[in-house]
A and B are shown apart, each in its own frame.
Chain A
Amino acid sequence: MAEEKVKGGAFLLESPKLEEVFVPEEFTEEQRMFAKTAEDFVKNEVAPKSDEIEAKNDELHVQLFKQAGELGLLMTDIPEKYGGLGLDKISSMLVQEKVSSGQGSFSVTITDHTGIATLPIVYFGTEEQRQKYLPLLATGELIGSYALTETNAGSDAMGIKTKAVLSGDGKHYILNGSKQFVTNAGFADICIVYAKVDGEHHAAFILDLKSEGVTLGPEEHKMGIRGSSTRAVFLDNVKVPAENLLGEVGKGHLIAFNVLNIGRYKLGVACTGASKAALGEAVRYANQRFQFGVPISSFGMIKEKLADMVTKTYVLESAVYRTAGFIDALFSQLDYDDPEFGKKAMDAVAEYATECSIIKIFGSEVLDFVVDETVQIFGGYGYTEEYPAERFYRDSRINRIFEGTNEINRLLIPGMLMRKAMKGELALLPAAQKLAKEVMTLMPLALLGSGPLAQEELAVEMARKVALIVAGLAAQKYKEALKDQQMLLARMADIIIELYAMESALLRTRKVLEKKGEDKARHHVAMTQLYVAQAFPRVAQLAQEALAAIEKGDMLKANLSVLRKLTRWYTPVALVDLKTMVADKLIEEEKYWVC
């Protein structure tokens, strides 16, 4: 049965079946109700207090956090058996999106708590650990945090120096070291802390932050999410009960990395919520602000910005929920009582690690684009603290840095796919070799279908071939040494990200077309065409640069001619008409209306 499920990375080989793809238009009534509670709570209770939160009113921040707990917003991923709701992943991600739809600092506090701070216990905790901590984390009575980073071990997380030594009587581990940039540290009760047992073997521990020997550094003065807490945690001979060891000694790094996969994915979901919020502010302002006697939203250049913002948000949303559907399909087969649960959960998360990294990068970069244009639409007022644009702009920036920088995630994407290919889990190289032969006789336009998205479907198919060809040639040329070709890897990653993004929008729009017909789906169609119009030429450009990094001379020329064949057939769409249509709809609705 596992064979039948869509597999992580499989999008590089073929398009999934439409019925296997989840689209936001399929949210159930109950899921919409969950979303409404989260959205209303943030809109009415949290966002109006944004200034106080940003001024570091921790008491208020914690009080709102506990209120979120009472509403059940913290318990979506915790099994019912441990006081949670054990919701499907689609519901839980939808709640995450809405929780992140207005106040960046509050969003980070909650996302950190429900994600990287709670999930290690859900997946890797013993029965006793789960019983002890999860019910309290579910309600928000306990606040969680996660400490991996150290001053000399950021991206290089394997290089942590914090040391754990088992006491003579075997009852405690004694921890020494210092952790940097711990989110929630200022108000958290517990912390998942990573250390090396005897300075060698990675391990994770559940640390009570009130333990003797724990001290905190001062709050960091940050560019954004200023209301969130980020402090160093110093450990000086801290006694952690032996039963608080999470998982096995020697496997701590696996916990750290697997949990980060989910953390990355959740971050992309949070960016979707924030993009929609910023977009809403931008379009409302554009409608209210008059210059030259008319609202600025009537100017073509402002319309173009609005159209690009909503298009990218639509594509991101499509990619996010497509991935939620995959992850949910795997998780719904798991049983928390299974003694092998931790390992299976780890495998399930690892299966879609590539997609998680894609969502992290794409989400944080879409949000950065959206907040940047939001500032621009607000003009001079966008540069002042009086208006929300400035805060959105500052708050967005961290997303490209934490949970693995976008550089690290760009390295991971081709790295993980290649590893899957080497292990035989993903038939990348045979497919690349087969394609290399086929491509000689391939005539893209002969494959052009019919319907409103015929050209976009073909573009996605050709982008997939481009990705495969580049990956195949790169692997062939550099073999093991490919990992040192960072500039090439970055281009491979970007081609793959664009492929996933374009395809997610395409699949969603095709589903909406089937269900609602051409007229009702016309904005979906337009946004898909617009995104492909931007991404497909970009894929061609990236591929050209990648090929030039692989071969030179005649070989390069031959490779480039194949690339041209795969990409040159594309006819530009009527950009101005499409953008005007999409912008006009947004201007009329004054918010992200699609879902």
Chain B
Amino acid sequence: MKVVVFCKSVPDTETRVKLKDNRLDKSEIKYILNPYDEFAVEEAVRMKEAGKVDEVVAISMGPERAREALRSALAIGADRGILIKDDVLDGSDTYVTAKVLVKALEKDGAEYGMLLFGQQAIDGDTWHVPGQVAEMLGLPQAGSIIKLEVDPDAGKAVANRLVEGGEEVHEMSLPCVVTCRKGLNEPRYPSLPNIMKAKRKPIQDYSIADLDLSPEEVGKAGSFTEVLSYSLPPKKEAGRKVEGEPEEVVQALVKFLKEEIKVI
């Protein structure tokens, strides 16, 4: 059985986001494999190590730097990668992203047992893509799982989700979609030998044309949504301490609320 892991290249968690002309200033950003996708890759590789899966394929859509995210997945233990890269993808929204990922999946051959995603990308943070892919393919899905048991022979998977006050257990027929979160496993550090092996594992590149898509179907043209602008959260200002006798303090506070920030 083949399983597919969806990997997004995202800015490092320590990045200080800067804006330039109403867009993200990407010039000094370091990129990593989306941390939630690490849980997905780790889970898939463990299934392979347990003999339940024959092949783990990692797919990413993104610019050239997304190749590094794929290498990270290969270093954790995925067998091969697929990179969908095309200039016309610029400005694609989550719907287009899902559509393109589905096309790549079909192109690679339909017989897969499970599709694993991160629950969210730490940059875009819409949580959309996995659900959209599941919907487009008509597959059952369980989101934000913390436990997964797969039985390929019986053709089913059991996944546990954390919900208010307890856990929810889902049984799904294969193929199915799961999205992964912290608590599912502890992703390993890619060892140096495995990083070297990853260099020799194949990554197949696809353009939009390779996937039988036209430029009008992707990018801004094919999208339903568009990001109009970005803004940074307002700078935290130093607090002000009101000191004095209780009466003075209350008066100062009321004056502040009325006159300065005008909430009462």
Task: Report whether A72 and B192 are in contact in the complex, using a CB–CB cutoff of 8 Å.
Answer: yes
- Closest CB-CB distance, B200 to chain A, in whole Å? 11
Q: Tell me whether A41 is interfacial, beta carbon within 8 Å.
A: yes
Please give, as numbers and ranges, the residues of chain B lying within 8 Å of A95 by CB-CB distance: 192
Q: A294-B238, A588-B16 known; A41 and B71 CB under 8 Å?
A: no
Q: Tell me whether A544 is interfacial, beta carbon within 8 Å.
A: no
Cβ contacts A566-595/B at 8 Å (1 or 0 each): 000000000000000000000011110000
Q: A29-B68, A293-B238 known; A37 and B14 CB under 8 Å?
A: no
Task: Report whether A41 and B72 are in contact in the complex, using a CB–CB cutoff of 8 Å.
Answer: no
Task: Report whether B14 and A591 are in contact in the complex, using a CB–CB cutoff of 8 Å.
Answer: yes
Q: Which of A29-52 contact B (CB under 8 A)?
A: 29-30, 33-34, 37, 40-41
Q: Tell me whether B224 is interfacial, beta carbon within 8 Å.
A: no
Q: Which of B68-101 contact A (CB under 8 A)?
A: 68, 71-72, 75
Task: Report whether A33 and B71 are in contact in the complex, using a CB–CB cutoff of 8 Å.
Answer: yes
Task: Report whether B195 and A30 are in contact in the complex, using a CB–CB cutoff of 8 Å.
Answer: yes
Q: Tell me whether B190 is interfacial, beta carbon within 8 Å.
A: yes
Q: Which of B22-77 contact A (CB under 8 A)?
A: 27-28, 68, 71-72, 75
Question: Which of B27, B28, B72, B193 has most chain A Cβ within 10 Å?
Answer: B193
Cβ contacts B185-213/A at 8 Å (1 or 0 each): 00001111111101100000000000000
Task: Report whether B196 and A30 are in contact in the complex, using a CB–CB cutoff of 8 Å.
Answer: yes
Q: Which residue of B lies closest to A295 (CB)?
A: B238
Question: Which of B72, B193, B195, B198 has most chain A Cβ within 10 Å?
Answer: B195
Q: Tell me whether A509 is interfacial, beta carbon within 8 Å.
A: no
SS class, residues of chain B in contact with chain A: helix
- Closest CB-CB distance, A414 to chain B, in whole Å? 39
Task: Report whether A34 and B195 are in contact in the complex, using a CB–CB cutoff of 8 Å.
Answer: yes
- Which of A29, A37, A76 lies in contact with B189, CB distance below 8 A? A37
Please give, as numbers and ranges, the residues of chain A lying within 8 Å of B16 by CB-CB distance: 588-590
Please give, as numbers and ranges, the residues of chain A lying within 8 Å of B195 by CB-CB distance: 30, 33-34, 37
Q: Which residue of B lies closest to A290 (CB)?
A: B238
Task: Report whether B238 and A37 are in contact in the complex, using a CB–CB cutoff of 8 Å.
Answer: no
Please give, as numbers and ranges, the residues of chain A lying within 8 Å of B192 by CB-CB distance: 34, 37, 71-73, 75-76, 85, 87, 95
A520 to B68, CA, bound (A): 23
A461 to B126, CA, bound (A): 56
- Which of B28, B68, B190 lies in contact with A37, CB distance below 8 A? B190
Task: Report whether B27 and A520 are in contact in the complex, using a CB–CB cutoff of 8 Å.
Answer: yes
Please give, as numbers and ranges, the residues of chain A lying within 8 Å of B71 by CB-CB distance: 29-30, 33
A30 to B238, CA, bound (A): 43
- Closest CB-CB distance, A75 to chain B, in whole Å? 7
Cβ contacts A71-88/B at 8 Å (1 or 0 each): 111011000000001010
Please give, as numbers and ranges, the residues of chain A lying within 8 Å of B189 by CB-CB distance: 37, 40-41, 71
A87 to B192, CA, bound (A): 10
Please give, as numbers and ranges, the residues of chain B lying within 8 Å of A41 by CB-CB distance: 189
- Closest CB-CB distance, A111 to chain B, in whole Å? 17
A184 to B193, CA, bound (A): 26
A74 to B27, CA, bound (A): 34
Please give, as numbers and ranges, the residues of chain B lying within 8 Å of A34 by CB-CB distance: 192, 195
Count of chain B residues with Cβ under 8 Å from any Cβ of A? Answer: 19
A30 to B189, CA, bound (A): 14
Please give, as numbers and ranges, the residues of chain B lying within 8 Å of A520 by CB-CB distance: 27-28
Question: Which of A33, A41, A588 has most chain B Cβ within 10 Å?
Answer: A33
Task: Report whether B190 and A33 are in contact in the complex, using a CB–CB cutoff of 8 Å.
Answer: yes
A87 to B199, CA, bound (A): 14
A260 to B27, CA, bound (A): 41
Task: Report whether B196 and A37 are in contact in the complex, using a CB–CB cutoff of 8 Å.
Answer: no
Task: Report whether A85 and B190 are in contact in the complex, using a CB–CB cutoff of 8 Å.
Answer: no
Task: Report whether A30 and B199 are in contact in the complex, using a CB–CB cutoff of 8 Å.
Answer: yes
Cβ contacts A454-472/B at 8 Å (1 or 0 each): 0000000000000000000
A447 to B231, CA, bound (A): 49
- Which of B68, B193, B198 lies in contact with A85, CB distance below 8 A? B193
Please give, as numbers and ranges, the residues of chain A lying within 8 Å of B198 by CB-CB distance: 33
Task: Report whether B193 and A33 are in contact in the complex, using a CB–CB cutoff of 8 Å.
Answer: no
- Closest CB-CB distance, A445 to chain B, in whole Å? 37
- Closest CB-CB distance, A86 to chain B, in whole Å? 10
Cβ contacts B127-167/A at 8 Å (1 or 0 each): 00000000000000000000000000000000000000000
Q: Which residue of A lies closest to B190 (CB)?
A: A37
Q: A29-B68, A72-B191, A520-B27 known; A85 and B14 CB under 8 Å?
A: no
Q: Which residue of B lies closest to A70 (CB)?
A: B191
A139 to B196, CA, bound (A): 16
- Closest CB-CB distance, A556 to chain B, in whole Å? 51
Q: Which residue of B lies closest to A593 (CB)?
A: B28
Q: Which residue of A lies closest to B67 (CB)?
A: A29
- Closest CB-CB distance, A83 to chain B, in whole Å? 10
A589 to B14, CA, bound (A): 9
- Which of A73, A85, A591 lies in contact with B196, CB distance below 8 A? A85
Q: Which of A387-424 contact B (CB under 8 A)?
A: none
Question: Which of A76, A85, A294, A588 has most chain B Cβ within 10 Å?
Answer: A85
A30 to B190, CA, bound (A): 11
Please give, as numbers and ranges, the residues of chain B lying within 8 Å of A72 by CB-CB distance: 191-194
A17 to B98, CA, bound (A): 50
A261 to B71, CA, bound (A): 35
Q: Which residue of B lies closest to A71 (CB)?
A: B191
A381 to B14, CA, bound (A): 26
A33 to B32, CA, bound (A): 10
Q: Which of A177-194 contact B (CB under 8 A)?
A: none
Please give, as numbers and ranges, the residues of chain A lying within 8 Å of B191 by CB-CB distance: 37, 70-72
A312 to B244, CA, bound (A): 48
- Closest CB-CB distance, A174 to chain B, in whole Å? 40
Please give, as numbers and ranges, the residues of chain B lying within 8 Å of A294 by CB-CB distance: 238
A290 to B237, CA, bound (A): 13
A590 to B71, CA, bound (A): 28
Q: Which of A288-338 contact B (CB under 8 A)?
A: 290, 293-294
Q: Which residue of A lies closest to B65 (CB)?
A: A29
- Closest CB-CB distance, B119 to chain A, in whole Å? 21
A82 to B190, CA, bound (A): 21
Q: Which residue of B lies closest to A95 (CB)?
A: B192
Q: Which of A1-60 contact B (CB under 8 A)?
A: 29-30, 33-34, 37, 40-41
Q: Which residue of B lies closest to A588 (CB)?
A: B16
- Closest CB-CB distance, B39 to chain A, in whole Å? 15
Please give, as numbers and ranges, the residues of chain B lying within 8 Å of A29 by CB-CB distance: 68, 71
A76 to B192, CA, bound (A): 8
- Closest CB-CB distance, A289 to chain B, in whole Å? 13
Please give, as numbers and ranges, the residues of chain A lying within 8 Å of B196 by CB-CB distance: 30, 85
A75 to B196, CA, bound (A): 13
Q: Which residue of A lies closest to B192 (CB)?
A: A72
Please give, as numbers and ranges, the residues of chain B lying within 8 Å of A70 by CB-CB distance: 191
Please give, as numbers and ranges, the residues of chain A lying within 8 Å of B14 by CB-CB distance: 591
A41 to B72, CA, bound (A): 15
25 pairs, A vs B, C-beta closer than 8 Å = A29-B68, A29-B71, A30-B71, A30-B195, A33-B71, A33-B75, A33-B190, A33-B195, A33-B198, A37-B189, A37-B190, A37-B192, A40-B189, A70-B191, A71-B189, A71-B191, A71-B192, A76-B192, A85-B192, A85-B193, A87-B192, A95-B192, A589-B16, A590-B16, A591-B14
Task: Identify 13 new A-B residue pairs, CB closer than 8 A, beyond the known A30-B195, A33-B198, A73-B192.
Answer: A30-B196, A30-B199, A33-B71, A37-B189, A37-B192, A41-B189, A72-B192, A75-B193, A85-B196, A87-B192, A293-B238, A588-B16, A589-B16
